[in-house]
């Protein structure tokens, strides 16, 4: 009988033609649990020897801590197949797909155990939809195999691919529930590219949703992809599903995924797949540095949320029903308890109302407590919206509002249960945030005011490892316009620019602000210098074009206002425009003060007002460079 032990022994690798011949002739393979009709025929054994497994880390987007590793098949070409898809297509055609999946799972498990920190990690294994059959009972066979290696079932996440149809929804749902009854986690892989889409999300009720690379690629410059991904994330979080962004390769993609609300990431930015298990790390410092760099300049609600969450003591998933009843009896003011697994991760809540049929039945409690016939806690757990403690309060409110009769939101920190945020506490968070924002807003435009501008510039100057661009916008010939048409129309011109500024500088990467009067500020992060210049120049041009409609026909025809200068002379004032002083803060710059920035902006404002396009720029560099 074939065993993984002899598969990992020293045996020459098969040639491509040798492996193809073995499959083409459909010789009896000595697979696990299936005696070989030809013990001397080791072709299949040689194929498995040739196949290898690479691992790619999946990390927390906020902390860089490694959450798990996906096992990826390698060496199918060396084994004689055109591709990985060709290998599995062949196995399916020959009716050995289920046994092959089982052998590969064990191969991945053996390699997974080579890591010292495997107990703190999840193992993500891919499922071929064509092998989702109850008859093969892969979940039970996998559970027995894991028991031999000492791995908890909850550590394993099976990825359901969208590359093949899932069949009849009811049949598929039954299979997915069978995996869950065996305590495995489920993930929908490559979401958004396959046959099933939202239908698979609905029937599988997964624990994880893996967003396909298509939606992540170039998302920083594709507003449509941002819209799609943000809505997918919202739907997933409403269902209590953790969102994982696949194929994150650049810092810009990382930051957009983080801003939108993704929980986990996987891709070349973290680490490429590797067969050497010594390269798998429990923590990826460069991801944590990116997150910290972002937190220095982004408005964070973490402290507000942390102050309001209730530390409701959760119930462990493996608790007996007697223990569950006792918890409710001991604290009659509580109508539900959060439920966590062995790793401290929330799986949902258990409500007292759903236990009443058993509580008030004559034999209900005895029946449910029967270890042979009774139901277990996991049978009563219901999903609950979840949010990371770093999530913006507005996103949490949106998740709460979309779920009818929701008790609140489970808050997690580094994927572990941190507490519960009730509706009342959530409203207090929103109220505190709104009050704080109102104190620092300009009363006319509702944009950030001087205090926040000073904080932003100070943070930007202190983050020498990140590129920033600071822009100061100043109206030209605003006073003559205000004198001729009055303060009300002057305020309308200010509001016009404020709207244009807020639209041109999206808050996920930029910082639009109002200094006061006809002076505005804009901060760019994660935006290169040339792009910031282009946006600023277009903004100036748009305002100059749009504000012409505020003048009367005769003044527009003349192209100027006749008025008096500061000493009373009659002067022709051109129509209103806006000038921009742009300061570049490159990566690796020296330490500068806010006064240094103010001085450079003052010099650039003079140049900008003389420039044809009303824009002047310079880099803040070390004196003498």
Q: Which helix (H) or strand (E) holds 139?
A: helix 138-149
Structure token digits, residue 162: 């969208």
Decide if pLDDT at 588 tops 80. Answer: no
Confidence of residue 536 (pLDDT cuts 50, 70, 90): very high
pLDDT at 525 (0 to 100): 84
Give which of 601, 603, 538, 609 is closest to 574, Cα–Cα: 609
Decide if pLDDT at 45 tops 60. Answer: yes
The mean pLDDT of 375-383, rounded to a whole number, is 83
Kindly report, residue by residue over 185-197, the tens digit of the pLDDT. Answer: 999 888 876 555 6
160 and 206 Cβ atoms separated by less than 8 Å: yes
pLDDT at 7 (0 to 100): 33
pLDDT at 197 (0 to 100): 66
Structure token digits, residue 96: 């050995």
As a whole-number percent, the residues of the chain with pLDDT over 90 amount to 39
Give which of 271, 288, 289 is closest to 279, Cα–Cα: 271
Residue range(s) occupied by CATH 3.20.20.450 in the chain: 52-298
Decide if pLDDT at 12 tops 70. Answer: no
Give which of 487, 498, 527 is closest to 510, Cα–Cα: 527
Residue 229 CB burial class (10 angstroms; 0-12, 13-18, ≥19): buried
Decide if pLDDT at 584 tops 90. Answer: yes
- Which carries the bigger pLDDT value, residue 295 or residue 451? 451
Q: What is the DSSP letter of 235?
A: H
Which residues lie below 8 Å from residue 379, measured CB to CB, with a gap of 6+? none
- Cα torsion through 426, 431, 433, 439, rounded to 10: 180
CATH topology of domain 305-432: CBS-domain (3.10.580)
Q: Which segments within 52-207 are labelled E, that is strand?
A: 52-60, 66-74, 122-127, 156-160, 185-191
φ and ψ at 271, to 5 degrees?
Answer: -170, 145
Structure token digits, residue 189: 């892989």
- Which carries the bigger pLDDT value, residue 563 or residue 206? 206
CA distance 173 to 153: 20
Decide if pLDDT at 8 tops 50. Answer: no
- Which carries the bigger pLDDT value, residue 261 or residue 397? 261
Decide if pLDDT at 30 tops 50. Answer: no
CA distance 550 to 493: 8
The mean pLDDT of 461-475, rounded to a whole number, is 88
- Most trustworthy range by pLDDT among 236-245, 359-368, 392-401: 236-245
The average confidence (pLDDT) of the chain is 83
pLDDT at 615 (0 to 100): 94
The mean pLDDT of 555-563, rounded to a whole number, is 88
Residue range(s) occupied by CATH 3.10.580.10 in the chain: 305-432
φ and ψ at 411, to 5 degrees?
Answer: -100, 130
- Most trustworthy range by pLDDT among 41-45, 198-202, 251-255, 357-361: 251-255
**Angle in degrees, 0-180, between the axes of helices 251-260 and 285-295, rounded to the nearest 10:** 60
Give which of 102, 106, 176, 76 is closest to 134, Cα–Cα: 176
pLDDT at 219 (0 to 100): 87
Pairing of strands 156-160, 122-127: parallel
Residue range(s) occupied by CATH 3.30.70.270 in the chain: 440-619
The mean pLDDT of 591-596, rounded to a whole number, is 83
284 and 66 Cβ atoms separated by less than 8 Å: yes
pLDDT at 2 (0 to 100): 31
Kindly report, residue by residue over 55-101, the tens digit of the pLDDT. Answer: 999 999 999 999 999 999 999 999 889 999 899 888 888 888 888 88
Kindly report, residue by residue over 238-294, the tens digit of the pLDDT. Answer: 888 999 999 999 988 998 899 888 999 999 999 999 999 999 999 999 999 888 776
Confidence of residue 222 (pLDDT cuts 50, 70, 90): confident
Strand order in the sheet with 386-388: 386-388, 408-413, 416-422
Give which of 418, 416, 388, 420 is closest to 406, Cα–Cα: 420
* Buried b / exposed e along 361-379 (16+ C-beta atoms within 10 A): eeeebeebbeeeeeebbbe
A 10 A CB-CB count for 582 gives 25
Residue 410 CB burial class (10 angstroms; 0-12, 13-18, ≥19): buried
CA distance 192 to 380: 31
Give which of 222, 209, 278, 220 is closest to 249, Cα–Cα: 220
**Angle in degrees, 0-180, between the axes of helices 97-112 and 138-149, rounded to the nearest 10:** 20
**Angle in degrees, 0-180, between the axes of helices 529-546 and 487-504, rounded to the nearest 10:** 150
pTM: 0.69
Give which of 239, 290, 234 is closest to 265, Cα–Cα: 290
CATH 3.20.20.450 for domain 52-298, yes or no, is yes
pLDDT at 29 (0 to 100): 42
Pairing of strands 264-265, 242-245: parallel
Confidence of residue 28 (pLDDT cuts 50, 70, 90): very low
Confidence of residue 165 (pLDDT cuts 50, 70, 90): low
Confidence of residue 163 (pLDDT cuts 50, 70, 90): low
pLDDT at 595 (0 to 100): 87
Residues making up the chain, counted from first to last? 625
Which residues lie below 8 Å from residue 5, measured CB to CB, with a gap of 6+? none
Positive/negative CA dihedral, 36, 37, 41, 43: negative
Decide if pLDDT at 333 tops 50. Answer: yes
Decide if pLDDT at 580 tops 70. Answer: yes
Structure token digits, residue 97: 């797909």
CATH topology of domain 440-619: Alpha-Beta Plaits (3.30.70)
- Which carries the bigger pLDDT value, residue 35 or residue 454? 454
Kindly report, residue by residue over 207-221, the tens digit of the pLDDT. Answer: 999 999 999 998 877
């Amino acid at each position: 009988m074939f065993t993984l032990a002899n598969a990992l022994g020293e045996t020459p690798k098969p040639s491509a033609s040798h492996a193809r011949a073995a499959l083409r002739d459909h010789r009896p393979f000595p697979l696990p649990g299936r005696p070989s009709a030809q013990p001397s025929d080791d072709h299949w054994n040689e194929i498995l020897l040739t196949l290898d497994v690479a691992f790619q880390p999946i990390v927390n987007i906020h902390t860089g801590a490694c959450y798990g590793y996906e096992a990826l098949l390698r060496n199918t070409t060396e084994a004689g197949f055109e591709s990985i898809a060709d290998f599995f297509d062949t196995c399916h055609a020959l009716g050995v797909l289920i046994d092959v999946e089982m052998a590969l799972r064990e191969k991945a498990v053996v390699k997974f155990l080579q890591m010292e920190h495997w107990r703190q990690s999840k193992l993500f294994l891919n499922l071929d939809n064509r092998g989702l059959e109850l008859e093969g009972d892969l979940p039970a066979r996998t559970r027995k195999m894991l028991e031999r290696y000492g791995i908890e079932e909850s550590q394993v996440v099976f990825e359901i691919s969208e590359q093949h149809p899932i069949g009849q929804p009811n049949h598929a749902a039954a299979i997915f529930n069978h995996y869950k009854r065996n305590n495995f986690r489920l993930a929908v892989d490559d979401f958004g590219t396959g046959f099933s889409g939202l239908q698979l999300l609905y029937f599988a009720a997964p624990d994880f949703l893996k967003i396909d690379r298509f939606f992540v690629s170039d998302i920083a410059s594709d507003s449509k992809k941002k819209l799609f991904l943000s809505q997918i994330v919202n739907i997933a979080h409403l269902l209590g599903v953790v969102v994982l962004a696949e194929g994150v390769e650049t810092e810009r993609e990382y930051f957009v995924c983080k801003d939108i609300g993704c929980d986990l990431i996987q891709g070349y930015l973290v680490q490429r797949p590797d067969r050497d298990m010594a390269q798998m790390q429990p923590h990826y410092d460069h991801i944590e540095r990116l997150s910290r760099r972002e937190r220095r300049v982004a408005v964070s609600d973490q402290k507000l949320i942390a102050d309001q969450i209730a530390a409701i003591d959760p119930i462990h998933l493996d608790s007996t029903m007697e223990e569950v009843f006792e918890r409710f009896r001991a604290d009659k003011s509580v109508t539900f308890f959060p439920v966590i697994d062995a790793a401290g991760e929330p799986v949902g809540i258990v409500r007292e109302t759903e236990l009443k049929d058993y509580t008030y039945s004559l034999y209900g409690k005895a029946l449910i407590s029967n270890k042979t016939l009774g139901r277990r806690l996991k049978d009563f757990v219901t999903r609950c919206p979840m949010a990371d403690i770093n999530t913006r309060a507005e996103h949490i409110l949106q998740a709460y509002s979309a779920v009818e009769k929701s008790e609140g939101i489970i808050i997690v920190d580094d994927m572990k249960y941190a507490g519960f945020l009730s509706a009342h506490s959530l409203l207090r968070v929103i109220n505190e945030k709104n009050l704080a924002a109102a104190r620092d807003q300009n009363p006319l435009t509702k944009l950030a005011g001087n205090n926040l501008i000073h904080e932003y510039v100070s943070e930007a100057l202190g983050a020498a490892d990140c590129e920033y661009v600071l822009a100061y916008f100043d109206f030209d010939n605003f006073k003559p316009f205000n004198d001729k048409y009055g303060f009300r129309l002057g305020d309308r011109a200010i509001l016009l620019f404020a709207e244009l500024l807020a639209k041109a500088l999206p808050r996920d990467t930029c910082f639009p602000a109002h200094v006061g009067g006809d002076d505005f500020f804009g901060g760019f992060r994660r935006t290169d210098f040339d792009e910031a210049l282009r946006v600023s120049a277009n903004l100036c041009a748009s305002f100059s074009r749009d504000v012409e409609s505020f003048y009367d026909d005769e003044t527009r025809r003349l192209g100027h206002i006749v008025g008096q200068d500061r000493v009373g002379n009659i002067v022709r004032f051109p129509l209103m425009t806006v000038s921009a002083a742009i300061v570049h803060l490159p990566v690796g710059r020296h330490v500068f003060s806010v006064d240094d920035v103010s001085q450079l902006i003052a010099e650039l404002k003079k140049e900008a007002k003389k420039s044809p396009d009303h824009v002047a720029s310079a880099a803040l560099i070390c004196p003498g460079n």
